[in-house]
Structure 1
Amino acid sequence: MALQDLPVVLGGYRLMITEAPAVKVRELEDGSVVPVLDRVTQQEQFVVTLFAKPLPVAGKKAGKGEEIRVNLPGDPGEGFEEGMYVELVGAVVNTYEIPDRMDPRKIASAGLWFKAAGLKPVARAVRPAA
């Protein structure tokens, strides 16, 4: 059973763009590449890659962070470039399961994917010089 559109709160993470938003594409069997369209609006979907690093917590070692890819329903607009800090608008997470071919009662692969309604720029706090 796959859970869909579970709200996710990423307030404890700093999100930095590592790959600027681009049109999401799918490779066809013949090797050609086509844009992925939203089933309802028929708009091209976008994808952005972010580095999600946990914010420091007093008394605990900071986590290393991880890269995540986030699907967007359309073009987030101009100005979203590598190195920029952002917030996700309406972030959700979805799960998927792929059954084993030999025994459908078993799960061969499972995972999750993120999507958001959009991106919002975030000013990064700068520490004053000592």
Structure 2
Amino acid sequence: MRDIPVVLDGYKLTVVEPPAPKMREDGNGGWLPVTNRDGVTQFVVSLFAKLRTAPGQRPQKGEEIKVTLETDPGEGFGEDSRVALVNARINAYQIDSPDGRSISGISFKALSLAPAGLAPAPRGEK
């Protein structure tokens, strides 16, 4: 399964590293921007995700996540900004190394960013 929709309404998302074009090594010591199949540059943002707690509850620890953005989110998403992900999805992955070890996890992807509380409805919903 790919692009599994994920609802992060119960989390506070804070920008740790502002959005920037996603880059990949070209094998010759240089860097190239990552593009999708249509040639559109992808972006990446680092967020600190922390579960919202009700008054009187003990806050839990958060976690830093990197999110690939399918479009340029524009200006206004500097460090410490509270944001929401537009059309957030996860993908599972597994990488098998030559030494027989397997690395697995999930990766986050979204259409773009919006200021916290202002994210539009996902595609196909009103």
TM-score range, shorter chain: 0.7 to 0.9
- In the alignment, does 2:90 pair up with 1:73? no
Within a 5 Å distance, the mapping from 1:96-115 to structure 2 comes to 96-101=93-98, 108-115=102-109
1:34 maps to 32
Structure 2, unpaired ranges of 5+: 118-126
Tell me how far 1:120 sits from its aligned partner.
0.7
Name the amino acid aligned to 1:121: P
Whether 1:86 and 2:80 are equivalent positions in the alignment is no
Deviation (angstroms), 1:102: 5.5
What's the RMSD between the two structures over aligned residues?
Answer: 1.6
2: CA distance, partners of 1:85 / 1:116: 16
Q: Distance in 2 between matches of 1:60 and 1:100?
A: 42
Does the alignment pair 1:54 with 2:51? yes
For the pair shown, the structure with the greater C-alpha radius of gyration is: 1
Q: How many residues align?
A: 117
Q: How far is the alpha carbon of 1:8 from its aligned partner? A: 0.6
TM-score in terms of structure 2 length: 0.85
Which of 3, 6, 22 is the aligned partner of 1:5?
Answer: 3
Normalising by structure 1, what TM-score? Answer: 0.82
> 1:101 Cα deviation (Å)?
3.4
CA distance in structure 1 between the aligned counterparts of 2:74 and 2:59, rounded to whole angstroms: 32
The letter for the 2-side match of 1:47 is V
Give the equivalent residue in structure 1 for 2:41. Answer: 44
Partners of 1:100 and 1:82 lie apart in 2 by: 35
User: Which amino acid in 2 is paired with 1:78?
Assistant: E
Shift in alpha-carbon separation, 1:77–1:110, aligned structure 2, 3 A: same
Deviation at 1:46, TM superposition (A): 0.3
Cα distance, 1:83 vs. partner? 0.8
**Separation in structure 1 between the aligned mates of residue 86 and residue 97 of structure 2, nearest angstrom:** 35
Percent identity between the aligned chains?
46
- Between the aligned partners of 1:91 and 1:26, the Cα distance in structure 2 is 23
